Structure 1
Amino acid sequence: FLPQVCGCIILGFSIWIRVSGAQQVNACNSSMFAGVNLLIAVGAIIMILGFLGCCGAVKESRCMLMLFFIALLLILILQVTGGILGAVYKPQVEAALNDTLNAGVDALKSTTGEHKEYQEEFQKLERKNQCCGMLNGPKDWGENFNKLSSNMCECEVEKQSSDLCTKYENRYIYKRPCGEVIMQQIKDNLVIIMGIAFGLAAVEIIGLVFSMSLYCQIGKK
């Protein structure tokens, strides 16, 4: 029963993270939420495995308990492997993230219309998070700064603060680059994901111990 509950919690949290970060994904790159997508899959699988474990315990089926044990063990091994790979390839991940942000800057500067949808989504991101540009503020928009909208990055607050706004081309715009917002969003989500992963590992170990214990007890009958 415990794995099913944990699976539901993991699934719920993962979907919440995915949905809450949807705009950042649209304005950046969907690969940034690969870990969240993986957790959604893991949560769903654990819910199914929890049902298998419950049935095995109720029916005292050694076959079902062994299947539950093996599947849970495989998931735990994959989690540990994923964590190790994440630590080993951290520089490559950071480099890929920087490349993604730089590609976003190129898309903002594009005047061909090819990235029109991206630019529209990014403007929504700017208004929502009170930021401007990807890495270098309004300069990231290039010629599009005055071309796409007359109030691009404009401070929509009654009292402009020097911490929030800065003057650029005779109007007040948001000071903070949106790249900082996106990076903070990723860091916040990573903390949640790591917490879920550690909690999940603990539950999996408990599940492994109990399933094997029950498996052995049934075998002695």
Structure 2
Amino acid sequence: MGVFEEKKETCGTICLKYLLFAFNFLFWLAGGVVMAVGVWTLVQKSDYISLLSSKTYAASAYILVLAGVIVMVTGVLGCCATFKEQKRLLRVYFILLLCIFLLEILAGVLAYIYYQQLNDELKQNLKKTMTEKYNQTNYEHITKAVDKLQQEFKCCGSNSSADWAESVYIRSGAKGRKVPDSCCKTITNMCGIRDHPSNIYKVEGGCITKLENFILDHLKIIGAVGVGIACVQIIGMVFTCCLYRNLKAEPY
């Protein structure tokens, strides 16, 4: 009877080992996805981040990058801990899983909080940023971001093209331009002189609506990825605890 119970426990441990190994492989792949989402947000959309006064959006992306790196390292550690059956490694693995879980929940919470306050922030700051910093010394990154925003989203000004009348750049002369050349449907030098719907983008709601929708979509992705992977990790932590208990119960 004792021999049968020992074999049964051993079979259970073997099953747990392979389940945990499969989980770690998928977890490692998921870490790559998490890191890729964070890097893509920071690298490809870094121009738009410079138009935001709050650093919450960027912080969420940085947290995902950090979590992704730790996830990939943890996945390898988990495989080693599983097959070597070392309880110390399993403890370290469990602690790392818990840390990643908390990081990704934090990224999800930050994304949700910023999701709620984004509209107010854009209303308060985007117009000011565009009218006061566009084409000004030491704000070349803002100029590049605004030009990219207006061309990529086919819009002009924060709320409308009329916003540019208050711009430091336009009021200083701007060689007769009424709007920056990036407002034009077809960009040519000095095309911003003619402020007419046939020449420039006259989009209802201006760039603020376009940028808000864009960021909201990405916040949903950041939040979903962070919380989704965190929930999957609960399975890994359960498997780890079960394997740890089985190894502890078995004779050395």
Calculate the TM-score normalised by the size of structure 2. 0.69
In the TM superposition, residue 181 of structure 1 has moved relative to its aligned partner by 2.0
Alignment of 1:74-85 (within 5 A): 74-80=99-105, 83=108
In the TM superposition, residue 202 of structure 1 has moved relative to its aligned partner by 2.4
Residues 49-68 of structure 1 deviation map (CA, whole Å, 9 limit, x = unaligned): 11221111011011111111
Which of 24, 29, 46 is the equivalent residue of 2:48?
24
Distance 1:148-1:114 versus aligned 2 partners, 3 A rule: farther
Question: Could you say which residue in structure 2 is the equivalent of 1:214?
Answer: 243
* 1:55 matches 2:72: no
Counterpart contact for 2:28–2:76, Cα < 8 Å: yes
* 1:107 matches 2:107: no
In the TM superposition, residue 188 of structure 1 has moved relative to its aligned partner by 1.0
Residues 97-145 of structure 1 deviation map (CA, whole Å, 9 limit, x = unaligned): 54432441343468x6353542243123312221111234342353534
In the TM superposition, residue 45 of structure 1 has moved relative to its aligned partner by 1.0
Question: Could you say which residue in structure 2 is the equivalent of 1:172?
Answer: 199
Distance 1:114-1:87 versus aligned 2 partners, 3 A rule: closer
Counterpart contact for 1:132–1:178, Cα < 8 Å: yes
What percentage of residue pairs aligned between the two structures are identical? Answer: 27
* In 1: Cα distance, 2:197 partner to 2:223 partner: 45
Calculate the TM-score normalised by the size of structure 1. 0.78
Which one-letter code corresponds to 2:48 in the other structure? Q
Distance 1:13-1:58 versus aligned 2 partners, 3 A rule: same
Distance 1:19-1:138 versus aligned 2 partners, 3 A rule: farther
Distance 1:193-1:149 versus aligned 2 partners, 3 A rule: farther
Q: Where in structure 2 are there 5+ consecutive unaligned residues?
A: 1-24, 188-193
Residues 26-46 of structure 1 deviation map (CA, whole Å, 9 limit, x = unaligned): 444582322112111111111
Alignment size in residue pairs: 211
Distance 1:90-1:12 versus aligned 2 partners, 3 A rule: closer
